[in-house]
Amino acid sequence: MWHKFVRRREFEMVMEAFPLGTRFHNALELGAGDGGQSETIAGFCERLTCTEMNTRGNEMIGRFEARELPNVTFQLLDARDLSGFGEGSFDFIFSSNVLGHVDGVNRCLAECRRVLAPNGVMVHTMPTRQWKFWNTLVSLLFRHQFPQIHGISSSHWSEWRAFGVKSWRRALEHANFEVFNLVGLPFYYGHGPRPIWLIKLGNRLRWNATVAYYARKI
């Protein structure tokens, strides 16, 4: 499935920025959904706690548990409230395209800072303005309508502004994190693999659909 392929490749590229053989002891994934990307993450850590805030809770738990990942647990909770975890519990925190959906992202980042171990690393991937432009253009050309706004932005213009690299760097630094690395991830848009020639062109030109922000506590 296209979506699963994209998410798997994104996380593999996230890990390429770490020394070869890196394996985390206790990891936390925010916004895990049904666990599609969690399967890949689980291969790089001893224990993985996946979280999701979703009104279809029982359905999500069922789909997640069906994956039978032995080193993974799943919890329904709000990313702005990680009070169920002790201070410094995790040496790795990860989310994929989640922060833009969090109303009150500063609270979420403060909680991430609290539960991240002193020498831990946090990585969040977020869409780029290139993704926003091409996702909108493809939707207009092939579906003859504007795409849905991604996350909590009030308009397409505010979403465009929010997807700037400087905006997310400032948000992380404001939360007392040091952003020590940025990695551009492969180009795609939110309408599947067609037209494939445009996706191939975008990757040849090194466009990025998302950027991974690597951060640690100051």
- Rounded Cα–Cα distance for residues 129 and 21 (Å): 33
The distance of Cα 113 from the centroid of its chain, to the nearest Å, equals: 17
Q: What is the SS3 assignment for 113?
A: helix
* Helix, strand, coil distribution of the chain in percent, nearest 5: 40, 25, 35
Q: To the nearest whole percent, how much of the chain has pLDDT over 90?
A: 79
pLDDT at 1 over 70: yes
Confidence of residue 7 (pLDDT cuts 50, 70, 90): very high
Q: What homologous superfamily is domain 2-217 in, according to CATH? A: Vaccinia Virus protein VP39 (3.40.50.150)
pLDDT of 41: 96
Comparison of pLDDT for 34 and 171, the residue scoring more: 171
Burial of 141 (0-12, 13-18, 19+ CB in 10 A): exposed
Confidence of residue 4 (pLDDT cuts 50, 70, 90): confident
pLDDT of 103: 93
Q: Which residues, other chains included, contact 199 with Cβ-Cβ below 8 Å and sequence gap of 6+?
A: 187, 188, 189, 193
pLDDT of 69: 84
Burial of 157 (0-12, 13-18, 19+ CB in 10 A): exposed
The per-residue pLDDT for range 38-84, each reduced to its tens digit, is 999 999 999 999 999 876 656 766 777 777 788 999 888 999 999 99
Contact criterion met (CB below 8 Å) for 116 and 146: no
pLDDT of 58: 64
pLDDT of 151: 86
Domain ranges of the chain: 2-217
pLDDT at 87 over 90: yes
Comparison of pLDDT for 59 and 142, the residue scoring more: 142
The per-residue pLDDT for range 147-206, each reduced to its tens digit, is 989 889 999 999 999 999 999 999 999 999 999 999 999 999 888 888 899 999 999 999
pLDDT at 23 over 70: yes
